[in-house]
């Protein structure tokens, strides 16, 4: 059993409090592969899900606001598409810059730790010893850990990054992360606008009601898919996201209806 599947099975056993399944997973007589076979795309699942959720909520909020103000469908399309591209691009740039900055900060701190290990090894060993004592190890155990981890400079620095600074490098590619966020935002955010796009060619009664239904289904689906990251109950996660999206849309609709009286006929 490869590592990714073993972890998934362990999480499932824990959620069910299934001791038999958990014991089977931890059976040391079984051969276990330590390689990670989760796939290179697995680490970008969060970008896809959260980009899509933001896309649906923000776009449908605009649709609700315009519908509340009882403006024409053409205005919904113009505002919706403009928001879709502008906000999607803004989110993508934000994801790119944020991840790139985090990685640059991590690399700078790691460079500093490496320099300290090379130039002040005894001081770094003392720091590690104090850290392990603070974590609850006995002085003898702390000494053993320091001796083991300090034998290899790379392993030593990695230990300092985690134990001293609490930092783990995010190895996602910033450009790819931003691109996935943008694509997910645009694709999912287009769902509330689909019925209005169809309405440009054929007459569609109850466009807003259909848009509500499509958006609700998409929100619930993406909310349920979010459990890939949060490990929550999929129905609970989907329902929570549906409620959040509904509240945001309801507020937008109410504001649109309120401001309708101030819009010249």
Distance CA 41, CA 49 (A): 13
For residues 116 and 143, state if they share a domain.
yes
Three-state SS letters, the chain: CCHHHHHHHHHHHHHHCCHHHHHHHCCCCCCCCCCCCCCHHHHHHHHHHHHHHHHHHHHHHHHHHHHHCCCCHHHHHHHHHHHHHHHHHHHHHHHHHHHHHHHHHHHHHHHHHHHHHHHCHHHHHHHHHHHHHHCCCCHHHHHHHHHHHCCCHHHHHHHHHHHCCCCCCCCCCHHHHHHHHHHHHHHHHCHHHHHHHHCCCCCCCCHHHHHHHHHHHHHHHHHHHCHHHHCCCHHHHHHHHHHHHHHHHHHHHHHHHHHHHHCCC
For residues 17 and 97, state if they share a domain.
no
Q: What is residue 39's predicted lDDT score, i.e. its pLDDT?
A: 47
Residue 207, φ and ψ in degrees, nearest 5: -60, -40
Q: Encode the chain (265 residues) as per-residue pLDDT tens digits.
A: 555 566 566 667 666 676 666 667 666 555 544 444 444 556 777 888 888 888 888 888 888 888 887 778 788 888 889 989 999 999 999 999 999 999 999 999 999 989 988 888 898 899 999 999 999 999 999 999 999 988 888 888 998 899 888 888 888 999 999 999 999 999 989 998 998 888 888 888 888 889 889 988 988 888 887 776 667 788 888 888 888 878 887 887 788 778 776 665 5
Q: What is residue 248's predicted lDDT score, i.e. its pLDDT?
A: 80
Q: What is residue 36's predicted lDDT score, i.e. its pLDDT?
A: 45
* Lookup result for tokens 């469908």: 73
Are 181 and 92 contacting, i.e. CB atoms less than 8 angstroms apart? Answer: yes
Q: How many CB atoms lie within 10 A of CB 92?
A: 23
For residues 2 and 50, state if they share a domain.
no
For residues 28 and 116, state if they share a domain.
no
* Lookup result for tokens 């010249």: 264
Are 110 and 161 contacting, i.e. CB atoms less than 8 angstroms apart? Answer: yes
Distance CA 97, CA 188 (A): 22
Q: How many CB atoms lie within 10 A of CB 259?
A: 12
Q: What is the domain count for the chain?
A: 2
For residues 11 and 123, state if they share a domain.
no
Q: What is residue 30's predicted lDDT score, i.e. its pLDDT?
A: 52
For residues 7 and 98, state if they share a domain.
no
Angle at alpha carbon of residue 171, lines to 218 and 175, rounded to 5°: 60
For residues 173 and 151, state if they share a domain.
yes
Are 41 and 7 contacting, i.e. CB atoms less than 8 angstroms apart? Answer: no
Q: What is residue 25's predicted lDDT score, i.e. its pLDDT?
A: 65
Estimate to the nearest angstrom the gap between the alpha carbon of 254 and the chain centroid: 30
For residues 137 and 114, state if they share a domain.
yes
Q: What is residue 221's predicted lDDT score, i.e. its pLDDT?
A: 87
- Quote the domain boundaries for residue 29: 1-36
Q: What is residue 187's predicted lDDT score, i.e. its pLDDT?
A: 92
For residues 22 and 151, state if they share a domain.
no
* Lookup result for tokens 């790691």: 110
pTM: 0.74
For residues 1 and 70, state if they share a domain.
no
For residues 229 and 180, state if they share a domain.
yes
**What is the C-alpha end-to-end distance of the chain, expressed in Å?**
68
For residues 104 and 214, state if they share a domain.
yes
């Amino acid at each position: 059993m490869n590592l990714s599947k073993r972890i998934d099975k362990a999480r499932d056993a824990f959620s069910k409090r299934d001791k038999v399944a958990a014991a089977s997973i931890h059976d040391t007589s079984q051969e276990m592969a330590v390689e990670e076979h989760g796939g290179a795309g697995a680490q970008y699942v969060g970008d896809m899900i959260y980009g899509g959720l933001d896309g649906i909520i923000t776009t449908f909020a605009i649709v609700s606001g315009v519908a509340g103000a009882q403006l024409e469908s053409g205005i919904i399309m113009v505002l919706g598409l403009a928001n879709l591209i502008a906000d999607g691009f803004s989110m993508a740039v934000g994801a790119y810059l944020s991840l790139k900055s985090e990685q640059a900060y991590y690399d700078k701190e790691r460079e500093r730790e490496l320099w300290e290990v090379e130039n002040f090894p005894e001081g770094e060993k003392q720091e590690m010893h104090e850290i392990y004592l603070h974590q609850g190890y006995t002085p003898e155990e702390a000494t053993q850990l320091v001796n083991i981890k300090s034998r290899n400079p790379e392993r030593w620095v990695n230990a300092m990054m985690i134990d001293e600074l609490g930092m783990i490098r995010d190895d996602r590619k910033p450009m790819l992360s931003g691109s996935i966020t943008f694509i997910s935002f645009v694709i999912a955010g287009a769902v509330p606008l689909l019925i209005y796009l169809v309405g440009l060619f054929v007459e569609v009664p109850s466009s807003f009601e259909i848009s509500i239904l499509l958006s609700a289904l998409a929100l619930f689906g993406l909310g349920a898919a979010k459990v890939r990251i949060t490990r929550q109950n999929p129905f609970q996660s989907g329902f929570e996201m549906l409620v959040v999206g509904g509240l945001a849309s309801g507020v937008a609709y109410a504001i649109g209806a309120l401001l309708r009286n101030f819009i010249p006929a």
